Chain A
């Protein structure tokens, strides 16, 4: 491989520019684009359980889509989005102070330790971590008995397992690391002088944070949201292990259409609508993110002043 790549380099790409990407393009066509195209096709078919591929493509219809919009299914949709949006929000709120602390308030050595501590739990089996939440949350568990003993909760113990609450807790837990890391990277890149200049100009710490730090951390927040919100929406494991009937999420519902229920058209339609919903939520989210710093900038002319001051210092950003 080495040699072929090298000779391509030498020839200054006389072939098509995407030559090196051809394996990837083929791979993605065969194993990504084509299968998903079929899912789109199946979503317009009708269920026919007598066949090996249990879909009748003879008569295409949008029946499955209207079935998804049936009240009960639609509610699971809404519940999934609600859990994911809330969990993403909680991840930002919980993770931002940690990332901020690691980026600005500690020595280099401690940065490494904090980051390692954040990342390490993510490398234990996702499933066993999720299952492990059953231990502290069990109504007959040690924690529950202790809380009852202290008289802080009712005699029934912790009533969280098999509810959306358990899913909410575990999902925040499972994805928190994926939020903290990009937040840290973005914050860490911020030129300290920007913040100092802002303070020198008399802006309070709140104004500095809102006007300088937060807008500059924008890309990190965006990356973090992408890394957490999307997998959350399709999460199949957390809800299956902890959610019970009430914490059902759309991911588990889609999977069951393909394994147990054998209703491929319905499952396909659900999956497509889920992606549409995810993308819609992202667009809405980004519009908000796009507007917010501009509003903040309007509200805080300090930023403009700071930017100008830095430019006038003529010190090129070196980080």
Chain B
């Protein structure tokens, strides 16, 4: 399996998978969908990966490039456990290639003892990074999220292809914002606990894990606050897919199917902290994991979900990647 960092309960990919399914899992990590596609494309069908976990909008181009194969749905009967709301998405209307692993959103996480202001929006985040927390903030190391932050703050659709928007975004992020960034870090939870940043843009599940780490480090989790990005933010859904040329396709299907059993799924959920899209979620939680902590960082109300936007892959993506790279160069350069 080739997946995002720290994205499954270690029991589920380790001992338990071995004892229940007689499947030995090997897990490798990537940091962005682009990395995943590069690695798969570079080996053209012989990468050796079985399961990959791309984010929804990237699926059509992966199908087109022949990087993933059709799922054998007869091997995944547990797909019926998934809430129909999270199936048949635009990128794969018939779920021939993918099935929802979980979904999440983006916000930020900050230390209230270091940042005096009450923060609620992306604009607040940007202002704080450029002011009080300058040189002490981190942002997600993925181009759409990094640029999205500015688009959302300025009430522009983050899927915009308008040149003027992109130019304005580049101008601001590269020339004004980048120099204040301490790190481009997609998984800041541990480093937040070490005390490396006082404010960090983060995916909800990772921010939730930060609470655990902060407690371990002897800090006070109550000092930290999670903010869902506003006025708009992202809704992403990561999906299990089977890579083209997968050497162990059958075991891959078996494992995916197993992970879609509600109890297993909830176990996974309480580890990584992302909504796994099971049917009757609230009932399941009260039955299986009543003591789940920080549920408000996993489950969001309807009006919150309404503010979330799904990414669309457009030709502008190259430009966004370019902006991220230039920002990185700029962020690293001001001390030279």
**Complex: chain A residue closest to B136, CB-CB:** A159
Among residues of A, the one whose C-beta sits closest to the C-beta of B218 is: A140
Interface check A134, CB cutoff 8 A: yes
Instruction: Compute how far the CA of A163 lies from the CA of B332 in the bound complex, rounded to whole angstroms.
Output: 9
Choice from A73, A157, A161, A260 contacting B34 with Cβ under 8 Å: A260
Q: Is A76 an interface residue (CB 8 A)?
A: yes
Given contacts A138-B196, A140-B194, A245-B183, contact A260 B38 (CB under 8 A): yes
Q: How far is the CA of A140 from the CA of B111 in the complex (A)?
A: 13
The answer to whether A76 touches B321, judged by C-beta atoms less than 8 angstroms apart, is no
Do B333 and A72 touch (CB < 8 A)? yes
Q: Are A75 and B329 in contact (CB under 8 A)?
A: yes
Interface residue? B164 (CB, 8 A)? no
For the complex, what is the distance from the CA of A74 to the CA of B195, rounded to whole Å?
31
Q: How far is the CA of A260 from the CA of B195 in the complex (A)?
A: 28
Binds B, one of A173-181, A187-195, A246-254: A246-254
A293 within 8 A of B: no
Asked if A79 is an interface residue, CB under 8 A from chain B, the answer is yes
A76 CB contacts on chain B under 8 angstroms: 329, 332-333, 336
Distance (Å) between the CB of B171 and the closest chain A CB?
Answer: 14
Interface residues as binary, B160-202 with A (CB distance below 8 Å gives 1, 0 otherwise) = 0000000000000000001001111100000101111100000
Query: Which A residue's beta carbon lies closest to that of B184?
Result: A245
Interfacial chain A residues near B329, Cβ < 8 Å? 72-73, 75-76, 248, 253
How many residues on chain A are close to B (CB under 8 Å)? 33
Q: Which residues of B contact A256 (CB under 8 A)?
A: 325, 328
Contact with B along A222-251 (1 / 0, CB 8 A): 000000000000000000000011111000
Residues of B within 8 A of A134 (CB): 194
| A260-B321 in contact (CB<8A) | yes
- Let me know if B28 is at the binding interface, CB within 8 A: no
CB pair A246 B325 closer than 8 Å: no
CA distance A140 to B196 in the complex (A): 8
Select which of A78, A82, A161, A164 is within 8 A of B194 by beta carbon: A161
Q: Which residue of chain B lies nearest to A51 when distances are taken between CB atoms in the complex?
A: B41
Minimal beta-carbon separation of B212 from chain A (angstroms): 15
* Pair B331/A245 contact, Cβ less than 8 Å: yes
> Is the beta-carbon distance between A140 and B217 smaller than 8 angstroms?
yes
A185 to chain B, nearest CB (A): 36
What distance in Å separates the Cβ of A70 from its nearest Cβ neighbour in chain B? 8
**Residues in B neighbouring A35, C-beta threshold 8 A:** none
Closest chain A residue to B325 by CB distance? Answer: A261
Nearest neighbor of B197 in chain A, beta-carbon distance = A162
The contact of B332 among A246, A262, A263, by CB within 8 Å, is A246
Given A52-B41, A164-B335, 18 more pairs with CB closer than 8 A: A52-B44, A72-B330, A72-B333, A75-B329, A75-B332, A75-B334, A79-B332, A82-B336, A139-B194, A140-B218, A245-B182, A245-B183, A246-B331, A247-B332, A248-B328, A259-B34, A259-B38, A262-B34
**Residue positions of B touching A, CB distance < 8 A:** 31-32, 34-35, 38-39, 41, 44, 138, 178, 181-185, 191, 193-197, 217-219, 318, 321-322, 325-326, 328-336
Q: Please provide the 4 A-B residue pairs with the shortest distance between their CB atoms, ordered closest to farther.
A: A139-B195, A75-B333, A248-B332, A140-B195
A-B contact pairs, 6 of them (CB 8 A): A72-B333, A140-B217, A162-B196, A245-B184, A256-B325, A256-B328
